[in-house]
């Protein structure tokens, strides 16, 4: 099979998976009951209620709604939010971008530092420092991100008052678009603590993965050859073994980027940060189906695309991989 056919096959597989995930979500949300009742006052006549339901298409039989839902998946026309009364895409997309401001730096820090420390631990195999490092890696994996957020917020926000207590900008600040945000130093000030609370947890996996991968790598013959040629231990580890050991970490990086969007829901709650995860949770509580569905399916799409990229990157980077 050529690489192109492999990629084509995976894309078809992912579209199929996405369709099933979307279907499950559609029926899960519909099984809760009509969401309209939550959003209107008590003095609404049955006729008016019916009119509102008709406006949102909720009076149609489920298969008509399902059909419209499936079409909306492909034309990216997601209807109107019950809560915000504006186009769903306009509500969700800016929140997605907000979340990426947290997720991308957090994962980059986590994987760069995690990989470097992982190599170090494999290098120091059998020494006490390895045990300590390994313990720290496991400690990171065991710590809930939102709790780290609470502790950081308490120490650096409340007690030392070095950082703001939450949000994306100081309360009452006007800003119109994301490019403008990027030019305001106070915006970065708001990002430090949430990014830090995610980084610790996310660093655990690349650290442990890199170490395991290195331990397999340093038994290979080429490592002995580099040593025999007189390369220093640091040179052997970082210039030769680490490059090959990086492969599983690279794919884990892509996959982690996909999943972290959903995992950061709680950090966004702690820091009162307007991200996509918190938007989804709030919308679920408000029974705002269009927004909750779109936010959920956006996160699912990111996961699937990142999984695809991980697979392709793996096949591309390692010529030994048969697909």
Q: Which residues bind other proteins (CB under 8 A)?
A: 13-14, 16-18, 20-21, 24-25, 28-29, 31-32, 125-126, 131, 134-135, 138-139, 141-144, 146-147, 150-151, 153-154, 157-159, 165, 212, 215-216, 219, 259, 261-263, 265-266, 269-270, 277, 280-281, 284-285, 292, 295-296, 299-300, 303-304, 307
- Looking at the Cβ atoms of 91 and 300, the one nearer to other proteins is 300
- Looking at the Cβ atoms of 181 and 275, the one nearer to other proteins is 275
Q: How far apart are CA 79 and CA 5, in angstroms?
A: 36
- Looking at the Cβ atoms of 113 and 259, the one nearer to other proteins is 259
Integer CA distances (angstroms), 309 to 99, 257, 315, in order: 20, 11, 10
Task: Report the chain's terminal Cα–Cα distance, integer Å.
Answer: 7
Q: How far is the CB of 229 from other proteins (least distance, A)?
A: 25
- The residues facing 87 across adjacent strands are 80
* Cα of 307 vs its chain's centroid, Å: 12
Integer CA distances (angstroms), 91 to 124, 157, 165, 183, in order: 50, 29, 24, 23
Q: How far apart are CA 311 and CA 323, in angstroms?
A: 10
- Looking at the Cβ atoms of 48 and 216, the one nearer to other proteins is 216
- Looking at the Cβ atoms of 181 and 209, the one nearer to other proteins is 209
- Looking at the Cβ atoms of 62 and 285, the one nearer to other proteins is 285
- Looking at the Cβ atoms of 262 and 274, the one nearer to other proteins is 262
CB 311 within 8 A of CB 263: no
HSE-up (13 A, CA, CB side) for residue 99: 28
Q: How far is the CB of 105 from other proteins (least distance, A)?
A: 20
Task: Return all residues near 125 (Cβ < 8 A) that are at least 6 apart.
Answer: 215
Residues 52-66 as b or e (16 or more Cβ within 10 Å = b): bbeebebeeeeeebb
Q: How far is the CB of 50 from other proteins (least distance, A)?
A: 25
DSSP state of 87: B
* DSSP symbols for 200-251: HHHHHHHHHHHHHHHHHHTTSHHHHHHHHTT--HHHIIIIIIHHHHHHHHHH
Q: How far is the CB of 266 from other proteins (least distance, A)?
A: 5
Q: How far is the CB of 142 from other proteins (least distance, A)?
A: 4
Q: How far is the CB of 51 from other proteins (least distance, A)?
A: 27
- Looking at the Cβ atoms of 105 and 204, the one nearer to other proteins is 204
- Looking at the Cβ atoms of 195 and 299, the one nearer to other proteins is 299
CB-CB neighbours of 237 under 10 Å: 22
Q: How far is the CB of 301 from other proteins (least distance, A)?
A: 9
Q: How far is the CB of 320 from other proteins (least distance, A)?
A: 16
CB 249 within 8 A of CB 115: yes
Q: How far is the CB of 165 from other proteins (least distance, A)?
A: 8
């Amino acid at each position: 099979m050529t690489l192109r056919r492999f990629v084509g096959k995976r894309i078809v597989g992912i579209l199929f998976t996405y369709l099933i995930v979307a279907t499950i979500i559609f029926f899960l949300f519909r099984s809760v009951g009509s969401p309209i009742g939550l959003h209107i006052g008590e003095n609404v006549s049955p006729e008016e209620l019916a009119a509102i339901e008709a406006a949102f298409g909720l009076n149609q039989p489920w298969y008509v709604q399902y059909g419209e839902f499936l079409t909306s998946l492909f034309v990216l026309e997601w209807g109107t939010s019950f809560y915000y009364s504006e186009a769903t895409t306009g509500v969700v997309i800016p929140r997605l971008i907000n979340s990426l401001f947290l997720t991308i730096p957090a994962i980059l820090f986590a994987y760069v530092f995690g990989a470097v420390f992982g190599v170090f631990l494999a290098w120091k195999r059998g020494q006490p420092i390895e045990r300590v490092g390994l313990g720290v890696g496991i400690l990171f994996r065991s710590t809930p991100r939102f709790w780290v957020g609470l502790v950081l917020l308490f120490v650096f926000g409340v007690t030392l008052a070095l950082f703001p207590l939450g949000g994306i900008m100081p309360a009452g600040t006007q800003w119109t678009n994301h490019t403008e945000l990027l030019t305001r130093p106070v915006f970065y000030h708001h990002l430090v603590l949430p990014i830090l609370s995610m980084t610790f947890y996310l660093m655990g996996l690349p650290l442990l993965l890199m170490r395991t991968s290195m331990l397999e790598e340093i038994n290979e013959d080429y490592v002995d050859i580099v040593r025999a040629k007189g390369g220093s231990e640091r040179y052997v580890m970082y210039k030769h073994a680490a490059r090959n050991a990086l492969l599983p970490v690279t794919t884990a990086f892509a996959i982690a980027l996909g999943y972290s969007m959903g995992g950061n829901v709680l950090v966004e709650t702690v820091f009162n940060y307007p991200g996509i995860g918190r938007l989804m949770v709030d919308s679920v509580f408000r029974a705002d189906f269009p927004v909750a569905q779109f936010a959920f399916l956006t996160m699912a799409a990111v996961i699937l695309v990142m999984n695809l990229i991980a697979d392709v990157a793996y096949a591309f980077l390692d010529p030994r991989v048969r697909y």
